[in-house]
Amino acid sequence: MRRERWFILPAVDSGVRVLHIGIDIGGTNIAVGLVSNGSILCKEAVKTSKGISDKKLTDDIFKVISELCKKTGVDVSEIKSIGIGAPGAPDVKNGKTGRLVNITNAEFDFRGEFKRYTDADVFVDNDANCAAIGEAESGAARGCANVVMITLGTGVGAGIIINNKLNGGFNGAAGEIGHTTIVYNGEQCNCGNKGCYEAYASVTALIRYTKAAADKNPDSIIAEIASKSGIDGMTAFTAAKKGDKTAEEVIDKYTEYVSVGIANIINILQPEMIVIGGGISKEGEYLLNPIRAKVKDKVFTKDTGYAEIKAAELANDAGILGAAMLFKYRDI
Amino acid sequence: MRRERWFILPAVDSGVRVLHIGIDIGGTNIAVGLVSNGSILCKEAVKTSKGISDKKLTDDIFKVISELCKKTGVDVSEIKSIGIGAPGAPDVKNGKTGRLVNITNAEFDFRGEFKRYTDADVFVDNDANCAAIGEAESGAARGCANVVMITLGTGVGAGIIINNKLNGGFNGAAGEIGHTTIVYNGEQCNCGNKGCYEAYASVTALIRYTKAAADKNPDSIIAEIASKSGIDGMTAFTAAKKGDKTAEEVIDKYTEYVSVGIANIINILQPEMIVIGGGISKEGEYLLNPIRAKVKDKVFTKDTGYAEIKAAELANDAGILGAAMLFKYRDI
């Protein structure tokens, strides 16, 4: 008996720190975090300037990585992997970003550049994918093997996790649910097509609905707020909370369209969790309750069960956490 | 050196027969096949009658399995797995079919019943999923890891393969692309919603377009064929091949709607191959060429590459072959 226990004890995981670096490349900002067991131990922003060289940028990032390690009392050599989440369409296979318009205005070969410093595996993926992984590892979708995270922003993006693996498709470009047709021959979309989900469910669309409603109803609270502080994605919610009927109609219209795309994804993929991200998800139940009710009307398995719908929990940290966990969600 | 070769030789695969049984349960017919290395060695239909008991049906099926084995000179004990493709929503986890309306009018516990005869693993899945596996293993999508097979029939069904695994979603009910909205507030669908893909891209919809066109254009060839032989999914194609402009317009309309759903799937999942199944896929390039051209207009990655679109190759054998390979595409 004593011998058996002797062998079991060292296998217990707790206390063992497996360290990863997650890097979230935003429009103008780069956030670097040291991650262990699904938590950010410490993080820091990297200052950058437009036109910076690949070498200088990697040097700057690695300096921050070294500082984070020093702070935490670990050696850089203990880092098992570095993950980078970047906007656009990265070259996942070769560890390069797509064009980083606001930084280098070119592709960036992170895997190649980091070789100068470390033997850690380097992964690069789309920022929407990283956010989905972050929420699946440590956020709203903790413990779910099948997750779709839909980010409602200027556009509509998605990260798809199936059986605990990221689904990028054969070319790494999957998840463009914003450019699926939901209203054949409908509103013009930026992509050139008409009737795309993004043209109806993005915050850009919500602002369009808000503006039209305010113009049409100059005596409404929504019009009053709009004329005082301008219109953003929150305007309709702020007015609705004050009992404005016009604002309620705007939210009804917006959540109706949002629910169409969510129901489509559920009918196709049947994930166990849909996570709604983007700044607007901070509206919480004001946004989610109408969406849930409208999705239920449209889902094919409404009687036998379908995905839960939750707001993202991690805000900006999802990008760092997800990037740090890329090694687990990618087979290459 | 001699010793090394001695050990290497038996590991070579060719000539080694790994045997599986695939069972395809149709509306009124059950087909059983003995499958090895992606080919059907021999197959036979099982006669059945409405209201047959579970025990009697399994006895009958197993009698056919024994005969197939005898014919091929193998012992029943050599069979590694039995897969069953059934209509509706099977209980994949427990190896039961859904209600088999035309046979027993009840669920059917294949895994439980087959235990009386064999230790082989028993898998049950949806027939659309099995067809997709069949085409991925031995048909139009041979060698592809990411495949969506879309079957255009009375309704529209789909089987989704991602990273060489079937995607049934968390509840086994994924693939209902027929009930995704493509025309918000559009045509009434049988499911209760409006504007579903199925209401525009099923053969039922094609027949509706054909009838309307024939009624509106009584001097067209399509109207002539319709009045002589009635309307089915082939009518418009037959008339178009004779140069009928009205029929061409029908095909143009139908393939336009079909392309919307295919482009949506590509934008979401980016599979490397889309396989079109169902009787209408026999129209081959007459159906596929306009679909390909219209999909190209709508795909987000039209410049960087996207899925090939092919017609199914295996017809009814896809169900047997896919069922026999379920063991490989399911993790449970």
Q: What ipTM was predicted for this assembly? A: 0.91
Label the pairing between strands B147-152 and B156-162.
antiparallel
Q: Give the pLDDT of residue A15.
A: 58
pLDDT in tens, B173-211: 899 999 999 999 999 999 999 999 999 999 999 999 999
- Residue in chain B nearest A306 by alpha carbon: B171
- Residue A13's pLDDT band, with cuts at 50, 70 and 90, is very low
Q: Give the pLDDT of residue B147.
A: 98
Q: Give the pLDDT of residue A332.
A: 55
The mean pLDDT value for B215-219 works out to: 97
Asked if B146 has any chain A CB less than 8 Å from its own CB, the reply is: yes
Q: What percent of chain B has pLDDT over 90?
A: 80
Give the integer Cα–Cα distance in Å for B201 and B261: 8
Query: In sequence order, what E strands does A163-236 have?
Result: 165-166
Q: Give the pLDDT of residue B13.
A: 46
The mean pLDDT value for A167-194 works out to: 94
Q: Among A316, A313, A319, A324, which residue's Cα sits nearest to residue A34?
A: A324
Q: Distance from first CA to last CA of chain B, Å, rounded? A: 42
Label the pairing between strands B39-46 and A121-126.
unpaired
Asked if B321 has any chain A CB less than 8 Å from its own CB, the reply is: no
Asked if B205 has any chain A CB less than 8 Å from its own CB, the reply is: no
Entry pTM: 0.91
Q: From the list A171, A179, A298, which residue is nearest B181 (CB)?
A: A298
Question: Which parts of A170-220 fold into alpha helices (H)?
Answer: 198-201, 203-216
- Residue in chain B nearest A273 by alpha carbon: B170
Residues in chain B: 332
**Quick one: B105 exposed, middle or buried, by C-beta within 10 A (0-12, 13-18, 19+)?**
exposed
- Residue in chain A nearest B307 by alpha carbon: A170
Query: A138 vs A88, A142, A315, B44, CA distance in Å?
Result: 24, 5, 12, 52
Sequence-separated contacts (24+) of A42-50 with Cβ below 8 Å: A42/A68, A42/A71, A42/A72, A43/A68, A43/A317, A43/A320, A44/A68, A48/A103, A50/A102, A50/A103, A50/A105
The mean pLDDT value for A166-190 works out to: 94
Query: B27 vs B88, B123, B259, CA distance in Å?
Result: 11, 19, 28
Q: Give the pLDDT of residue A321.
A: 97
Asked if A180 has any chain B CB less than 8 Å from its own CB, the reply is: yes
**DSSP 3-state assignment of A12?**
coil
pLDDT of residue B328 exceeding 80, the answer is yes
DSSP letter (8 states) at residue B155: S
Classify each residue of A251-288 as buried b or exposed e, where b means 16 or more C-beta atoms within 10 Å of its C-beta: bebbbbbbbbbbbbbbbbbbbbbbbbbbebbebeeebb
- Residue A235's pLDDT band, with cuts at 50, 70 and 90, is very high
| Chain A CB contacts of B270 below 8 Å | 168-174
pLDDT of residue B2 exceeding 80, the answer is no
Give the distance, in angstroms, between the CA of residue A35 and the centroid of all CA atoms in the same chain: 17
Give the distance, in angstroms, between the CA of residue B296 and the centroid of all CA atoms in the same chain: 24
Asked if B331 has any chain A CB less than 8 Å from its own CB, the reply is: yes
Token pair of B303 as six digits: 């410049």
| Chain B CB contacts of A253 below 8 Å | none
